[in-house]
Amino acid sequence: MRRYISGLIGAVLVAGFLPARGTVAPPPEADTLRSPLYVYTEGIKRLHVRADSAGARERFRRVVELEPEYAPAWYELAVLEAPADPAKAAELALKACELDTSNRFYLSLYAQSLVMDRRIDRALAAYRRLIRLENRNPDNYRMAALLAQSAGRADEALAVLDSAETMFGRNSHLNAIKRHILIEGGRYEQALDEARAMVDAVPYEADGHQALGEIYLMTGSDSLGLVSLNRALEIDSTHIGTLVSLADYYNRRREYDPYFAVSRRIFENPDLPLVEKVRIYKRYTGDLRFYREFHTQIGMLARTLAMLYPKEPTVVELYADHLIATGNVEQAGELYKMRLGDRPPRLDYYQMVIDVESYLQRPDSADRYLARAIELFPDRADLYIRRGHLAGGMQRDYDRAESYYRRGLELAGSDSLRSAVWGFVGDLYQQRSQGDYASAEEAFARRENGSGTWRKWIRRCYAAYDRALRYDRDNVSVLNNYAYFLSLEGRDLNRALEMSGRAVELTDNNPTYLDTHAWVLFKLGRLDEAKRYLQQAVAFDGRKSPELLIHYGDVLAALGEKFMAETYWKKALENGYDPKEVELRIQRLKNPEQP
């Protein structure tokens, strides 16, 4: 059928576009234009020459309207429907089969469409017919066997495969299916016989020895299994199936030295796709206990991938992650620096270098890489925001930090991002108000409300927070910080309570936000509520924040629980709180009259 169509296309092209020299081709007669053959030919041209499937479909439909018994048109319609609608394709292919019962192409498409539509019994019947029609095609036997097995008829599947073996001799693909069916049915001795027969038939192919080895291992004959697997590797030292079988065997027995040795051979094997190697590697690192115990061997595998695929982003990332996880942060940074020259440039590589340099307390170096990243990606708001964080946080250059935040605002593409940046600007102003004091609490406690510089920056801080909340009223960071600074000032406490309550409502037991809400309650004199929220905060705070512990002690002291108050203040001291402040609180607790 396909050769006929190709020949037909050639005939059409010659007849349609190469008129005899010196003559003009006469226009087709009206009856010819209406004939099914002419319209069908036009459909073939549309489909195979112009790649116009819609135009071809329209013409094939016209053919079956003109002549409902025109089988080739039904077939072509089925071909066009098969990718998107296998049920419709099966219906159309069946029509073609009914009109031409001896055409194997029509029947094959019908059978395939039934498989895609998951109509197993009807597909199996179609493949039985195909075997009778075309008994020299092993693929028909394969599909019939698989469908019979899928339908739960293992004996029928085995009978089909026996027929194929009689017709073709031993075929490795069909024999593999047969062994699988036998193993699935628990018929291990028969599976062993089949594997041995396959090895005898083709003794110099690794597949057969691997299959025999796997069945020996399944049946507990480990020594025979290893002999067969090693024989497969003698034939083909890179045989991926055998290497995987050996790795699985050593893994089950927890023999990890040979397991990782075989794993390395698997990773070095070019026949295994990188995506599969990465999947195996992530399985090793997914179990943290296993990763911690065997991080050296897993690191060897990561290095193997890095040497084989030095430019693959997935490999660069997994090797860098391993270096970071094992404490080699600087090496991870150097790895990313080596890839900064890749083209096209990758933003994530620059971001990782910047992260590493910041972590290693190298603000000037981080700033240089940020500048290079901005040259390459000038429209990225996040890069300017990061540069603002760096300038304000590590370099204490507040003017430059604000200029970067302002540029980030110009590039921000969403209200949520604009809200976040205005929050950062507000935090920056608060830092400026704090001056040389160690904490916001100390700055608020020791500066008079009338202090001009302090008041200027706090006012600007609150104005920036207001702008942030206009863009996103649920910006939890801003809600929390705004509420906390108001509570330290002791003003607008009801508004502060509303904001801190909203921050707690929007998050899941965040100890910082619980602490702020409790502190606002404390300032309002609602001590029992403050204690309850601080109890939650302390319970959820894995870092044992000294500020949180100090606050809890303050609330307990206000409630008259002096012993527990002193206990928590001392815990705050152990975790790094200012010793003078702790001592002052303890003295006041013992001598209430002391100013």
Task: State what percent of residues in the chain have pLDDT above 90.
Answer: 52
How far is residue 314 CA from its own chain's centroid?
Answer: 11
How far is residue 423 CA from its own chain's centroid?
Answer: 31
Q: What is the pLDDT of residues 369-408, one digit of tens each?
A: 999 999 999 999 999 999 999 998 888 899 999 999 999 9
Token readout for 128 is 């039985």
Phi, psi of 431 (to 5 degrees): -60, -40
Q: What is the pLDDT of residues 19-66, one digit of tens each?
A: 333 333 334 444 445 688 889 999 899 988 888 999 999 999 999 999
One-letter amino acid identity for 498? E
Which pLDDT score, from 0 to 100, does residue 593 have? 65
DSSP state of 472: -
For the chain, give the mean pLDDT: 86
- pLDDT tens digit at each of 595 positions of the chain: 333 233 322 322 333 333 333 333 334 444 445 688 889 999 899 988 888 999 999 999 999 999 999 999 999 999 999 889 999 999 999 999 899 998 999 999 988 999 899 999 998 899 899 889 888 888 888 888 888 888 888 888 888 888 888 888 877 788 888 888 888 888 889 888 888 988 888 889 898 899 898 889 988 999 998 999 999 999 999 999 999 999 999 999 999 999 999 999 999 999 899 999 999 999 889 888 999 999 999 999 999 999 999 999 999 999 999 999 999 999 999 999 999 999 999 999 999 999 999 999 999 999 999 999 999 999 999 999 999 999 988 888 999 999 999 999 999 999 999 999 999 999 999 888 877 666 666 667 666 544 567 788 889 999 999 999 999 999 999 999 999 999 988 889 999 999 999 999 999 889 999 999 999 999 999 999 999 999 999 888 877 788 888 898 889 988 888 899 888 888 988 888 888 888 888 888 887 765 5
Helices (H), 447-576: 452-471, 476-489, 493-506, 511-523, 527-540, 546-558, 562-574
The length of the chain is 595
Token readout for 419 is 């809200």
Nearest CA to 46 out of 4, 9, 81, 90 is that of 9
